[in-house]
Amino acid sequence: MKWKLMDNAITADQRKKLANFILTKEKFSQGKYVKKFEDKWSEWQGCKYSVFVNSGSSANFLAVHASQPDHYTSKTNSLWVSQACTWSTTVSPIILSKNNLQLCDVSIPNLTPDLDCLEYIFKEYKPHNLFLAHLLGFSAISEELLNLCNNHNVTLLEDCCEAAGATYKDIKVGNFGKISTFSFYYGHHMTTIEGGMVCTDDEQIYEKLLLLRSHGLLRELPTSNQKKYNKVDDNFTFVTAGFNLRSSELNAYLGLLQLENLDKHNTIRKNNFQIFANNLDSSKYFTEFLIDGNCSFCFPVIVKDKCRDKIQQKLNDSGIETRPIIGGNLYEHPFMENQCAEILDKNAQTVHTNGFYIGNNHNVKQEDVTWLVNILNE
């Protein structure tokens, strides 16, 4: 058996439709299909505004810049917090925008912020923003976390790149913070091959996102929002410094096709994870998983002793592909050297040395999960 991280994310029928799209359409740069995909995503996600970009990393980049009072000026010295176990591009935009960063230790095995550690950071360092990553399909929202943010006047942003469809109290993650981001990379819950989305209910933030995505051009704004600016030229009036982080009509068209099956595929992922969580040996592995609201990205395995490498080798011999749990402990990576005022990574280090994950997707059958758990429990 060959167990890949992701398998056949784009169906044969979708490939045929993409080929026909290329053969019959004349415009491929950002246009009406991008807007249609944004509207359909907003409807699915339950937000007012969505902006389609060329990757989840770009979505995070825009979210950080758009959240700043003046997003294109020099260093703001604003302090941001995120988890010590997350993907590099959750925190890279914070560093690249010349803000300060403090990483928070995580809980095991759900990789949510360790709330005692988070409260300590809030009290000790008084950060302005929390970029909360919902990792591996787990919802990181809790009443305690929301209360901490409210009590310490910390603005919440949500990185949902690995958790499209995860919920807290039946509300989809991404609807609790000021801005949320999603990724449509090939290995995620749905794919546009490369692509991402930034969501918000704030009209001013939405305006910033549109400008930042497309060179700062005035024409990118809705007509009603253009009147407050002096126009240099109908085509080329630059309102602010900006980038080109646009995606294409082809990617958006694929997104529309994929979105049709997202709920169905997420149900398969959730059911698979339920079997995994209920049957994994708690004497050998950390198994206190958050089941409610989970929309599984993968099967995380965190070993309680020091035999991780031996287990991974056995899985590899059985045809099962594995990866580190995201980046492991980000404090261990060269780019984080001297970035944080304090190293807070007790649990993150356990994840780093004892953890890995196995892919979960809509093509994985429940009997496959049982087979996998039996191998892990042997």
CB atoms within 10 A of CB 372: 25
Instruction: Please report, rounded to a whole number, the percentage of residues in the chain having pLDDT higher than 70.
Output: 98
Is the preceding peptide bond at 109 cis, omega within 30 degrees of 0? yes
pLDDT band at 72 (very low <50, low <70, confident <90, very high): low
State residue 69's pLDDT score: 79
Q: Is the pLDDT of residue 8 over 90?
A: no
Strand 322-323's sheet: what is its strand order? 298-302, 355-359, 322-323
The DSSP letter of residue 100 is E
Domains of the chain, first to last = 12-259 (3.40.640.10), 262-377 (3.90.1150.10)
Q: What is the pLDDT of residue 113?
A: 98
Q: For residues 190-208, b (16+ Cβ closer than 10 Å) or e, as one string? A: bbbbbbbbbbbeeeebbbb
The phi and psi torsions of 138 (rounded to 5 degrees) equal: -85, 140
Q: At what angle do helices 203-213 and 56-67 cross, to 10 degrees?
A: 120
Q: Nearest 10 degrees: CA dihedral of 322, 326, 330, 332?
A: 0
Percent composition of the chain: helix, strand, coil (DSSP 3-state, to 5)? 40, 15, 45
Q: Which residues, in sequence order, are bridge partners of residue 162?
A: none
Per DSSP, the three-state class of 283 is: coil
DSSP at 331 = G
DSSP state of 215: T
The Cα–Cα gap between 120 and 229 comes to 44
For 310, other C-beta atoms within 10 Å of its C-beta total: 11
User: CB 371: neighbour CB atoms within 10 A?
Assistant: 14
The pLDDT tens digits for 73-107 are: 545 579 999 999 999 999 999 999 999 999 999 99
**Distance (Å) of CA 64 to CA 98, 129, 356:** 11, 10, 29
pLDDT single digits (tens) 171-206 = 999 999 999 999 999 999 999 999 999 999 999 999
Tens of pLDDT, residue by residue over 283-340, are 999 999 999 999 999 999 999 998 999 999 999 999 999 999 999 999 999 999 999 9
Task: Collapse the DSSP code of 177 into the 3-class scheme (helix H, G, I; strand E, B; otherwise coil) and give the result.
Answer: coil
Q: What is the DSSP string of 30-85?
A: SSHHHHHHHHHHHHHHT-SEEEEES-HHHHHHHHHHHHSTTTTSS----EEEEESS
**DSSP state at residue 315:** H
Confirm if 270 and 294 have CB atoms less than 8 A apart: yes
